[in-house]
Structure 1
Amino acid sequence: MTAVPASGAEPTPNKDTQKKGQGVLKTRAGYAWVGLVAAAVLGIVVLIFILQNLEQAHVQLFTWQWNLPIGVLVLLAVIMGALVTALVGGYRILQLRRAAKKTAK
């Protein structure tokens, strides 16, 4: 028998009334699987974006010139932004590690 709170909320389940699947351990492999599925869905969305934006755009950087689809240009800009962010973040992590080693001595 389950206890019914005075507030009128749902009763608290005991071991006999728990639903299947509760208490299942969450593992790194499970999180990795979810991440892979999310990455695949995101990849499909990016591919659709590129295929819908195939109009050519003229790009000039210093003396270099290209004609690329707009979707590819946006993708390249996002990749470059992610790389710059990773470089800055990596440098900051190195600074913090050096500072932690100095204070540990």
Structure 2
Amino acid sequence: MRGMTTPNPSEEYHYTEPTEEATASTEIEPAVEQPAQDKAKVRGSFAASTWIALIIGFILLILLIIFILQNQQSVELNIFAWSGEFPAGIAFLLFAIGGALFMALIGGWRMLELRRQIKRLGKK
């Protein structure tokens, strides 16, 4: 460390408190590292998003099993001309599956319509 001098113990040192103006002007700002322009960004992959979806699905499945096990009392169900008694948790599960299938059917129909429109526009 050339150029630096150590204080002489025989010299007297007087400490003074910094003023508010001095502390305001000497605030330390965190160093922010700027990313290099030539570095490519890492993009997520299909496998990573599938893995995350599987984990979320597994957690939801565990919650669903807990819900079904806590709702074992029988309830009477009347659907159109069909009636019967089921445990409440199983009945909710069946209705949720039916609703999901209905929505998948509607979504599939819409996708077919869009494909037909794209094919028609491609022929023109």
For the aligned pair, the TM-score class normalised by the smaller chain equals 0.7 to 0.9
Structure-2 change in CA distance of 1:50 and 1:12 (3 Å): same
Structure 2 counterparts to residues 1-80 of structure 1, below 5 A = 10-13=30-33, 25-80=43-98
**Quick check: 1:83 aligned with 2:101?**
yes
Q: Percent sequence identity over matched residues?
A: 36
RMSD: 2.1
- CA separation in 1, counterparts of 2:33 and 2:95? 52
Q: SS of the residue aligned with 2:86?
A: strand
Aligned residues: 91
Q: SS of the residue aligned with 2:49?
A: helix
- CA separation in 1, counterparts of 2:64 and 2:105? 24
TM score, norm. by length of structure 2: 0.65
TM score, norm. by length of structure 1: 0.75
1:70-92 CA-partner distances (Å, limit 9, x unpaired): 11111111111111111011001
Matched residue, 1:100: 118
- CA separation in 2, counterparts of 1:69 and 1:51? 9
Shift of 1:60: 2.5
Structure 1, gaps ≥5 residues long: 1-7, 16-22
Q: SS of the residue aligned with 2:111?
A: helix
Q: Which has the larger radius of gyration?
A: 2
- CA separation in 1, counterparts of 2:29 and 2:63? 42
- CA separation in 1, counterparts of 2:115 and 2:42? 36
Structure 2, gaps ≥5 residues long: 1-27, 36-40
Structure-2 change in CA distance of 1:9 and 1:101 (3 Å): farther
